[in-house]
């Protein structure tokens, strides 16, 4: 089976409790796993202010999911996003070799080294 690397960022409505938010994220991660996808990383970026209001809401819970999957799974995955009223926006992108390398370095924390070095000097 041919697998490609994908990255999905989605925004959940801010009226959810932490438990509801985690359950919703788990629902989408489990959907991917049931379809045979390999979930690489799930990052909860927390409650963030958005650049513009969506449904009269100015904040939302941002979540990033990195995974490898067969391209046929994506339509079913995105259909579930459209059906779930808790999801305000989502974006799924295919990662090329450079984006995969960047994501790997970001997960390892290589881009936070300068900030950590400045904190140690202070």
The CATH code that applies to domain 4-120 is 3.30.70.60
User: Tens digits of per-residue pLDDT, 29-56?
Assistant: 999 999 989 999 999 999 999 999 999 9
List the domain boundaries for the chain. Answer: 4-120
* Parallel, antiparallel or unpaired: strands 38-54 and 4-12: unpaired
Instruction: Say what the pLDDT of residue 122 is.
Output: 58
Question: What is the reported pTM?
Answer: 0.85
Please name the residues in contact with 57: beta carbons below 8 A apart, sequence gap of 6 or more.
Answer: 13, 14, 15, 50, 88
d(CA 58, CA 49): 6
Nearest to 94 by CA among 103, 85, 81, 105: 103
Q: Answer whether 80's CB lies under 8 Å from 28's CB.
A: yes
């Amino acid at each position: 089976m041919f697998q490609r690397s994908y990255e999905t960022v989605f925004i959940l409505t801010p009226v959810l409790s932490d438990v509801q938010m985690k359950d919703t994220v788990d629902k989408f991660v489990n959907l991917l796993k049931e379809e045979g996808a390999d979930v690489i990383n799930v990052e909860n970026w927390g409650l963030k202010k958005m650049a513009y209001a969506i449904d009269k809401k100015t904040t939302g819970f941002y979540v990033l999911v990195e995974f490898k999957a067969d391209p046929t799974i994506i339509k079913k995955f995105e259909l579930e996003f459209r059906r779930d009223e808790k999801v305000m926006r989502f974006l799924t992108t295919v990662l090329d070799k450079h984006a995969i390398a960047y994501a790997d370095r970001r997960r390892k924390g290589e881009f936070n080294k300068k900030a950590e070095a400045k904190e140690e000097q202070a």
